[in-house]
Each structure stands twice: as C-alpha cells, then as structure tokens.
Amino acid sequence: MASYRAGTPIDSQIRSAVDVLRHGGVIAVPTDTLYGLAASALNPGAVARLYAIKGRPSAMALPVLLAEVSEIPKYVADVPDLARKLAEEFLPGPLTIVLRRGAAIPDVVTGGQDTVGVRVPDHPVPRQIVRLLGGPITGTSANRSGKPGLTTADAVRRELGTDVDYIVDGGECEGGVPSTVIDVSTVPPRLVREGAVSREEIERICGMKVL
C-alpha cells in the first residue's frame, strides 16, 4: 500500500522509505528528472517485483542511483578515463553512464547483460536514501512501461496506486525530462538515449562523435 501522507516532513518520509527498502519493498521517489521507481539494487527479489509492477521486460536493464560519484567504482568493473570526464562534468545530474558491471550487481538488474547504467541524481532525496540504505537503488521512471514519465507524487499514486509500498512526496520534479544514457563500455561511445543532456554536450566532453 502506498502509505505516504501529505504534510509528512521529508526527513520522516526518507526514513520510512529506507525501512521499506530494507524489507524488500518498492517505493517511488522524486529525482532531478522524473519520479523514479526504486528497490534496493542488491536485492534480486525486490528488483524482480519492481519489473512486474512496471510491466518492464526482464531483458531491459535497470539503471542504478548512487549517492556520490566516488561510489561508482564499487559497482562497475572499471572506470575508463572518458567515464571519469563525463562524471566530472555532468554528475550529479541527468546523465546515466553505462559501464561494465561489477560483481556486486545482480543479473536481474542488468537483464543478464555485462553492463550497468549508473547515475548520481542532482536531488537530495534519492541520494540520502542511498546513504541511509548503504547501497544503490534502482532509478527507472515511476510509471507503467510505455507510459509517459511522471513529475508528481499524486500522479504516481494515480498510476501505480497500491502496487508500490511507499511514495516519497518531494513536490514536483523540476526536470521533467529523462536522463541521457551514454554507453562508454565500447569505443567509440554509444548514445543510448538523448535526454536532458544533449548529444552536442556529450560530444564536447568526449572530443569525438558518438554512435
């Protein structure tokens, strides 16, 4: 049951959300782009339930959200220089960087692929949740698969209702545009999705054309 109550202080909501995640729940949280659907990325059962709630094909990988750029090496196999440059320029912010996955990330998160998308959002709520949880959370948009992204807690409640265990009401998301996804696990890098960060901005930092 989505159990947030209007007017509850945000710090209290965050603590409640972390408790839900620790018990294998699925929550919705505001980010710098859209509301996200989050489970503990290190809990395969919770992630599998998230896929079912969203109606997302299990072969479609989920991005993960971190609290700090410095945490990226914990969850990937290596961080090439290009990834470091992109992270320095755009993170925290609306850029998801796809890298070769580390051993800590379960198969269910990556759809069995050998890469994982990582992002540090420019929003205090998901970052504090990650800090208190002590591990990454998933960062897919909080909507049914194929539907538009949502920017308010009320919109999430109307669409997902009792399927999620908790909704953190952090007000309206100011971004409203999904993150850009760039795969730097290959050379040259590949633009998977152009979103809040433009292709031109990516190529400026990369110093090359992206696929």
pLDDT of residue 211: 86
Please report whether residue 138 resides in a domain. Answer: yes
Please report whether residue 2 resides in a domain. Answer: no
pLDDT, the chain, mean: 95
Confidence check: pLDDT of 117 > 90: yes
Neighbouring C-beta atoms of residue 107, cutoff 10 Å:
13
* pLDDT, tens digit (0-9, with 9 covering 90-100), for 29-80: 999 999 999 999 999 999 999 999 999 999 999 999 999 999 999 999 999 9
For the entire predicted model, the pTM comes to 0.95
pLDDT of residue 73: 97
- What is the sign of the dihedral through the CA atoms of 89, 95, 98 and 104? positive
Assign residue 67 the CATH number of its domain: 3.90.870.10
* pLDDT, tens digit (0-9, with 9 covering 90-100), for 119-154: 999 999 999 999 999 999 999 999 999 999 999 999
Confidence check: pLDDT of 196 > 60: yes
Q: Amino acid identity of 56?
A: R
pLDDT of residue 48: 98
What is the domain extent for residue 64?
A: 10-206
Distance, in Å, from the CA atom of 131 to the CA atom of 128, rounded to the nearest integer, reads 5
Please report whether residue 64 resides in a domain. Answer: yes
Please report whether residue 184 resides in a domain. Answer: yes
Structure-token match 């970052």, residue found: 127
Whether residue 100 contacts residue 117, with contact meaning beta carbons closer than 8 Å, is answered with no
Distance, in Å, from the CA atom of 73 to the CA atom of 124, rounded to the nearest integer, reads 21
Whether residue 208 contacts residue 186, with contact meaning beta carbons closer than 8 Å, is answered with no
Torsion of CA 81, 84, 90, 92, to 10 degrees: 170
Q: Residues of the chain with pLDDT > 70: what percent?
A: 97
The radius of gyration of the chain's CA atoms, rounded to the nearest angstrom, is 16
Average pLDDT over residues 150-178: 94
pLDDT of residue 6: 59
Looking at the structure of the chain, the number of domains it has is: 1
Distance, in Å, from the CA atom of 192 to the CA atom of 183, rounded to the nearest integer, reads 7
Please report whether residue 79 resides in a domain. Answer: yes
Distance, in Å, from the CA atom of 67 to the CA atom of 133, rounded to the nearest integer, reads 10
Confidence check: pLDDT of 163 > 60: yes
Distance, in Å, from the CA atom of 94 to the CA atom of 180, rounded to the nearest integer, reads 6
